[in-house]
Structure 1
Amino acid sequence: MSTTVKLRSAVIGYGGAFNMGKHHASKMIESGIEFVAACDLDPARAAQAEQDFPGIRTFTNVSELLAQPDIDLVTVITPHNTHAPLAEQILHSGKHCILEKPMCIHAEDADKLVKLAASKGLMLSVFHNRRWDAWYLTVKDLMDRDLIGDIFHVEMYMGGYNKPGNWWRSSKEISGGMFYDWGAHYIDYLLGIVPGKVQSVRGYIHNRVWHDVTNEDHIESHIQFESGAVAHIEMSSIARAGKAMIRILGTKGAIVAPSLWEGHLTLHTEVNGLNIETKVPCLKDNHDAYYNNIADHLYNGAELVVKPEEARRVIAILETSELSAKAGKELELPYEIN
């Protein structure tokens, strides 16, 4: 690294679900960023953070954490509806900010955060670490080798017939809705697979079965790109029959992934006039790359891989899908790329 002064980081949110506070802290340390503080409203979770990382400072009040002058970077790992106000607080305190996905719930808030970070000269990024998933790296490699050609159709699916759990992720007011969990990953994947501007979004929503939770039962988003490419993303908790999680059609080949975790993709292509179907082993995932890039960006000025403007597009598509469903028509995408 080009500097001997170590960046110092903290997390807001050290909840027990998935142990993400410990995960983020560990990845920061591995990337060369010192982890010095954790904040959680629950004193027991703050105590757990100190037990996991002896010697760190712990807080149960966000303002007290942000008043610490020697903290450079704060990662937010809290329920989705708190992301925007916490990020605003962090940026106003003069600290770099990373948000767990999704960036926030509303595209207008995402836009405000993008502009605030730029005005302050601070880094803002979103933890879209799944850009380094094995299956996705393999798709990008096949694209780079021109084995797929011009991609004109993408389908993405996740679901089943299962009652949602009784927790904040099933509350629409807090989570933003069922599309704001894996849907945020899927939209980010999609925007890396299909280049260019989005022309319009058409959403469809069903609330038919699980009436004791406020999230949707089933949501679909049809995304039309200016290139003519079309994507269909479906998330469901009432789908008794499933389908492949990923299906990508191009002018030279097609890719099918029944599961994102099988370790291989099925490639359909043509060789010497023959239609070929073959299993392609997935490349190795590289989830360390996210924080390695953050460190390289802040220490050495390397280009930030997950830019806030990209995360803003994700939120715009998620929100516009719902607004379109309510309006019963296609809608244009706000805050689209120039």
Structure 2
Amino acid sequence: MKTVRGAVIGYGGAFNMGKIHANQMKDSGIAFVAACDMDKVRAEQAAVDFSGIRTYTKVEDLLSQEDIDLVTVITPHNTHAQLAKQVLESGKSCILEKPMCIRADDAFELTRLANERGLMLSVFHNRRWDAWYLTLMDLIKRDLLGEIFHVEIFTGGYQHPGHWWRSDKAISGGTFYDWGAHLIDYLLGFIPGKIKSVRGFVHNKIWHEITNEDQIDSIIEFESGAVAYISTSNIARAGKAPMRILGTKGAVVDADLWDDHLTLYTEVGGLPVETKIMNLKENWSAYYRNVADHLMNNAELIVKPEQAARNIAVIEATEKSAVIGAAVPVAYEK
């Protein structure tokens, strides 16, 4: 076991994520020693929140510190690829806030670079430890659903996306790169097989003053024959269940991802049964605990860069398909 010293790039900004990451590092046994933010006020706030840490306003200054082992990047999506490359080239392990980056080629390059240098690269897909998801994966492990052949996933509603960088396609990558990254990561967790093709659809109907899409639909066909339909929308006046999963032995509907239960449809003795399954407890801190265990004790890394890169490849394929009006293969699957 060794001491791992961590830092963040991008302390302030949306949702106070720098502070959240720093606290989760500390809770997992990683020493939080430095923060970098180009905004001097935010950098100074980090020093107030965590007494004794070093603060920087230039990435190069932070990366020149030889005693830092791990850097988490919490910046707008279009900066992830370049910053991660700088972190890895400085000899430090790297965590990227989701999404990994915008272009699949960048995701593959980062994965190769980390592997070549023997460094850890991961993406903050902490939603794998959501209560409902842990419960679903437990049902699958116990073979209560059988072979999953049909999935519907939805997020959104009818609301203006807001005038900020997350609604600017050049910076955010587009609508699908926000919650869509979580949704695809969920899907590829419970249907991990190879993807045959992706068919995407893009709608720009209402919010013309911003550059992000109003709605994205992605139809993902797996080589097993399973089909998944994922939608993320800012123009859906009528909602639907966030998750509907059909298997050969049972089905699950989750009407509210923040509720305390799933609904399982199955049969007992040839009779149809509908039952409420209470969710397991969420365990969001498990992400950093696994990272610490991986870096200190060589435990298997749970959120691997190859998995995160696959998510980006599916998002990119969805957009490419929408442009040409036909299904396309996923680059990762070649």
The answer to whether 1:79 aligns with 2:90 is no
Structure 1: runs of 5 or more not aligned: none
The answer to whether 1:59 aligns with 2:56 is yes
Matched residues, number: 334
What is the match of residue 325 of structure 1? 322
1:83-123 Cα shifts (integer Å, max 9, x gaps): 00000000000000000000000000000000011111100
The answer to whether 1:185 aligns with 2:182 is yes
Structure 2: runs of 5 or more not aligned: none
Residue 195 (structure 1) shift: 2.5
What is the match of residue 159 of structure 2? 162
Q: Give, as a single letter, the amino acid of the residue that structure 2 aligns with 1:43.
A: K
1:264-289 Cα shifts (integer Å, max 9, x gaps): 00100001111111111000011111
1:104-161 Cα shifts (integer Å, max 9, x gaps): 0000000000001111110000000000000000000111111101000011000111
Separation (CA, whole Å) in 1 of partners of 2:234 and 2:203: 10
Identity rate of aligned residues, in percent? 66
What is the match of residue 143 of structure 1? 140
Name the SS of the counterpart of 1:166 in structure 2.
Answer: coil
Q: Which runs of 4+ in 1 moved over 6 A?
A: none
What is the match of residue 117 of structure 2? 120
What is the match of residue 222 of structure 1? 219
What is the match of residue 239 of structure 1? 236
Q: Indicate the RMSD between aligned Cα atoms, in angstroms.
A: 0.7
The answer to whether 1:25 aligns with 2:4 is no
1:216-265 Cα shifts (integer Å, max 9, x gaps): 00110000000000000001101111100000000010000011001100
Q: Give, as a single letter, the amino acid of the residue that structure 2 aligns with 1:26.
A: N
Name the SS of the counterpart of 1:335 in structure 2.
Answer: helix
What is the match of residue 264 of structure 2? 267
The answer to whether 1:109 aligns with 2:109 is no
Separation (CA, whole Å) in 2 of partners of 1:161 and 1:124: 36
Separation (CA, whole Å) in 2 of partners of 1:52 and 1:320: 41
Residue 336 (structure 1) shift: 2.2
Q: Give, as a single letter, the amino acid of the residue that structure 1 aligns with 2:271.
A: L
The answer to whether 1:199 aligns with 2:196 is yes
Separation (CA, whole Å) in 2 of partners of 1:195 and 1:144: 13
- Aligned partner of 1:40 among 37, 42, 56: 37
What is the match of residue 14 of structure 1? 11
Name the SS of the counterpart of 1:23 in structure 2.
Answer: helix
Separation (CA, whole Å) in 1 of partners of 2:241 and 2:214: 19
Q: TM-score, normalised by structure 2?
A: 0.99
